[in-house]
Structure 1
């Protein structure tokens, strides 16, 4: 059989336990047809040489807030705590509409592609206008990107004892009705799908108990995944004790979320016994090392969680907290942070890459991504670095990927289609989108034209 595309002359990281020092990947109909060594290369309609560079599965972003790239590095809140940062930015985010969400999603995906990310979720929890997630799918589908939207929500405004203004929260009925609408319109559970939907109330302190419980019920009914922030900040513990009379994890369990459907973001401040309970229940975690360090709120112990049986993926988190969206940078930072906290023998580059691939796939409950075994989605990256950065790095290209650098995607392929080539995005509308994005960012930030 003739392949649609052959990537060859590559060092291939196929999966956590399979590497081919000099090999090829054959792609057909958006899937990996076969992999092999330098002998017996199959016929293909198109051939791309990696020129001896490292090829890995596309990285997976399992926690993000794409709309926040409209307020990156916003001066008045750059040095605040998490709660100070949120309360300072909520009034700006109240200006979001379908057009600005489309623009921010398009820009976010372009940035993620350049950092080697081929699948991303997005946690869209601010809804000052309707149909914002529809605008996200529009951008993702125009680009041809594998996108996992999560229907976020908030019900508790300042008037109800929460943090956000009333302009960005919604009623329980509106949230639940729109959740069902989005699932029926966009969710595709088939292998190799490009569009999926999960349910994602923002946090335990921003929605009612009914939303948490009804989201769990809808997830069971429609076979969906669940996502939220959990144990992110010590103030969350204080809030939960005052309002619910328990810890955040205990409340999470009480509302029916301690199931294999759930993955949570951050998970920095649980008690040791709580980690064990959620790991046993099948819950996964998204570590966001750059954002957590930027805000100064600590970070999850990636290898410690894995040692207790909890799958851990990586996330960029909001583009207004980490101020960038590179999964390569998150993987490198996870490696550095893990070794800094637990010693040089505690974590390798392969551990970090595994979190960025298989760990992310586990969070999203998606078996066909995060590896390059035959039958997997044809999502992969040919990495590039300057010759200066790689000078002397001869023995182990996987370690070099995260220890040397900076690295970017020379080629990013999603669903068998190159979306980045020669280090540049194949997105013909990108320049126009960037111009309009700048205009809208200035409006939202109250800056003069």
Structure 2
């Protein structure tokens, strides 16, 4: 009797336009993609080889563009249940308005919010997402576990940036004092989260980063000790940086220097670090990021929503700074989707000094895929369609009413209306089909999130 075959099962995608987002931006007007197990086996022009064994599925993707899965480098999942509030505020006023509600979150609320955030992103082509969760009220339960559980249910690859705050109002910070942790408590809880949940393997579904919140909510000691902790544990570092003019003023008044110099003084620059926003960066700041290979999560919609300004993305890219895209929390980007950021990144940056030369459609796609993977330290295994990389990819329908007359498939995706997602795969597993999630009940997710949003509103209204 013959032994059972141990060869991996294969999925073949054919007849699609393909944007590989490899180093040469290789593209095929009609090509194929072969997946073996959870890895890409081959990608190229024309049809797949006809003699492939163990093919369990063939997908005729005519009329579609195949791209790497989108990589969201910055989000706050818990904000899904506080959308549509403080809609005419700048960052500091917005934070002051919302911190009292956020400080009342608990495990059940965070689970519901994370499921909503992840579901919205996943059905829009996101295959990897970073969640910066920095509010941990006393007695609120296992918030990190709630986020990780929601990602496992949804099927999205997760980087949990375990955040922290220890500078409350009494110490000159923005958060209310009851919303912050002690320095020692934050460091201990962060270390425990890394040891419990971080997976350093190449095909990890969950990784953990050390992520103190921001200069105006974190002490210098917590920043410095967080950098040391992350390097001792071998994980990445994340925070907010240079988001607004008010932050720049705050840093000069409190520390006698701008945000970038302050971060560097605490050991918080390096190729293992990425920062959200980085809107107010001068030439010296950009040079420091390039020299240290510090990454940037560019969040164009949130930056516009909070009137923060236009980040100098073309200058960062020219200098060699790693740049990816971020949704940011849905209390400052109510859509909760990353594919809209491809378009907004291109359009917003063309309003700057570089005008039409600021970004191309392919550069925008690169920001949302390979750029994001590089920022999260995962570019060796995801972010482009190449043999040996993880099978995280999306089939976008571009032959329908909204896209059929746009000459270039990549321009159709970036500049056209939101393209329908016919299929999305993570780790070789399909999680979206015809715009609907296969992993969770979207209607149940929406109901649960609505219930928890209303409960939070009631709790926050209590004296």
TM-score after normalising by structure 1: 0.96
Residue of structure 2 aligned with 1:380, choices 389, 393, 397? 393
1:384 Cα deviation (Å)?
A: 2.4
State the partner residue of 1:8: 14
Mapped partners of 1:386, 1:113: distance in 2: 22
| 1:153–1:343 distance in 2 versus 1, CA, 3 Å | same
Mapped partners of 2:453, 2:310: distance in 1: 29
* Mapping for residues 264-303 of structure 1, pairs under 5 Å: 264-303=275-314
Worse-matched range after superposition: 210-219 or 405-414: 405-414
1:168-194 CA-partner distances (Å, limit 9, x unpaired): 210111111111111111101111110
State the partner residue of 2:363: 351
1:167 Cα deviation (Å)?
A: 2.3
* Root-mean-square deviation (Å): 1.6
Q: Check the 8 A contact 2:310/2:349 in 1, yes or no.
A: no
1:386 Cα deviation (Å)?
A: 6.7
Q: Which residues of structure 1 form unaligned runs of 5+? A: none
1:445 Cα deviation (Å)?
A: 2.4
Q: Check the 8 A contact 2:392/2:428 in 1, yes or no.
A: yes
Residue of structure 2 aligned with 1:407, choices 411, 415, 419? 419
State the partner residue of 1:22: 30
* Mapping for residues 280-429 of structure 1, pairs under 5 Å: 280-341=291-352, 342-366=354-378, 367-385=380-398, 387-393=400-406, 395-429=407-441
* Mapping for residues 112-127 of structure 1, pairs under 5 Å: 112-127=121-136
Q: Which residues of structure 2 form unaligned runs of 5+? A: 1-6
Q: Check the 8 A contact 2:128/2:157 in 1, yes or no.
A: yes
1:51 Cα deviation (Å)?
A: 2.1
1:385 Cα deviation (Å)?
A: 4.7
Mapped partners of 1:47, 1:180: distance in 2: 45
* SS of residue in 2 equivalent to 1:205: coil
State the partner residue of 1:54: 65
* Mapping for residues 34-433 of structure 1, pairs under 5 Å: 34-39=42-47, 40-41=49-50, 42-43=52-53, 44-74=55-85, 77-128=86-137, 129-341=140-352, 342-366=354-378, 367-385=380-398, 387-393=400-406, 395-433=407-445
Q: Check the 8 A contact 1:183/1:197 in 2, yes or no.
A: yes
| 1:428–1:114 distance in 2 versus 1, CA, 3 Å | closer
Worse-matched range after superposition: 20-29 or 247-256: 20-29
Q: Check the 8 A contact 1:385/1:406 in 2, yes or no.
A: no
1:71-112 CA-partner distances (Å, limit 9, x unpaired): 1112xx110111110010111112211111111111111111
| 1:237–1:346 distance in 2 versus 1, CA, 3 Å | closer
1:18-59 CA-partner distances (Å, limit 9, x unpaired): 112211111122111112322324341012222231000001
| 1:45–1:205 distance in 2 versus 1, CA, 3 Å | same
Mapped partners of 1:208, 1:371: distance in 2: 38
Mapped partners of 2:328, 2:440: distance in 1: 27
Mapped partners of 1:274, 1:224: distance in 2: 24
| 1:387–1:438 distance in 2 versus 1, CA, 3 Å | same
Q: Check the 8 A contact 1:30/1:378 in 2, yes or no.
A: yes
1:130 Cα deviation (Å)?
A: 4.1
Mapped partners of 1:36, 1:262: distance in 2: 34
Runs of 4+ residues deviating >6 angstroms: none
* SS of residue in 2 equivalent to 1:105: helix
TM-score after normalising by structure 2: 0.93
Mapped partners of 2:358, 2:65: distance in 1: 24
